[in-house]
Amino acid sequence: MEFIDPALLTYCEDHSSDEDFLLKKITRETQAKVMMPRMISGHLQGKMLELFAKMQNPKTILEIGTYTGYSGICMARGLGKDGKLITLDINDELETMVRGFFEESGLADKIDYRLGNALEIIPTLSGPFDMVFIDADKSNYSKYYDLIIDKINPGGIILADNVLWSGKILVEKGKKIDKDTHAIIDFNTMIQNDPRVENVLLPIRDGVMMARKI
C-alpha cells in the first residue's frame, strides 16, 4: 500500500502534527486484535482527513466504512458547531471496541454509528452532507457514489480511499484483472468523467480520490 520510500514516509510523519495517545491506542489494538489491520487509516491519512474536515467546517459528514473508528474520530474532530458524523459499517463484531473508542474520544455525542448494509441505509438518510469518506467494499464504490452525489451540498467534498489499489490499477494490455480492481478502475473513470465534480487523485498511502461538487 505504501508507494513512498520508508525513510521519506518517516520524514513525512516526523513533520506532521503528532498522533495523539488515543489514535496510537486504536492503532495498537487494531494491529493486535483485528484481522487485516492495514485497513486502518493511520497517522498521515488520519491527519489529512482531520485537516480537510477543519477546512470544510462541515455540519454533517458521512463515512462509509467505520472499521475500528480511527478515521471517524479524525473527521469528527473537524466538525462544525452542532455537527454530526454518521458512520456506517456492516461488521458488528467490532461494535464494542469501536463504541469504546468513540466514548474515549469525547465525541460520542457527535457520532452516529450505525451497523448494517450501507446500500440499504444510505437511501434512508436525508442529508445533505458537506463531506463524505468512502472506505468500504471496493466492488460497491460506484454504487455508493451514485447514492450520495445528489445528497452532497454544492462545495461539499467526497473522499474515496484505496483508489490506487496497491498499483493494480495499472493493468497491462491483455492481462486479466480481478473484480475489485475492475471496480476501482471503473470508479476512478466515472469520477474523472463526471461534470458535476472537480477532482484530484492524491497519491497518499493507497491513493485517495478527492472530488468537490460544483
Domain ranges in the chain are 6-213
> What mean pLDDT comes out for the span 17-34?
96
Please count the CA atoms within 13 angstroms of the CA of 159 that sit on its side-chain side.
29
> What mean pLDDT comes out for the span 82-101?
97
Single out the residue of 210, 44, 47 nearest to residue 131, CA to CA: 210
Lowest mean pLDDT among 5-19, 100-114, 142-156, 183-197: 5-19
Q: Hey, what's the cell of 165?
A: 489499489
Report the CATH fold assignment for 6-213. Rossmann fold (3.40.50)
Q: What is the largest CA-CA distance in the chain?
A: 52
Q: How confident is the model at residue 25 (pLDDT cuts 50, 70, 90)?
A: very high
Q: Which helix or strand (DSSP H or E) is residue 134 part of?
A: strand 129-134
**Rounded Cα distance, 11 and 47, in Å:** 15
Q: Which helix or strand (DSSP H or E) is residue 87 part of?
A: strand 84-89
Q: pLDDT at position 214, please?
A: 97
Q: pLDDT at position 21, please?
A: 97
β-strand 84-89 against 60-64: which pairing, if any?
parallel
pLDDT tens-digit series, residues 49-83: 999 999 999 999 999 999 999 999 999 999 988 99
SS3 label, residue 136: coil
Cα 118 to chain centroid distance, Å, stands at: 14
pLDDT tens-digit series, residues 170-183: 987 778 889 999 99
**% of the chain exceeding 90 in pLDDT:** 86
Q: Hey, what's the cell of 61?
A: 459528514
Q: pLDDT at position 80, please?
A: 84
> What mean pLDDT comes out for the span 21-32?
96
**% of the chain exceeding 70 in pLDDT:** 99
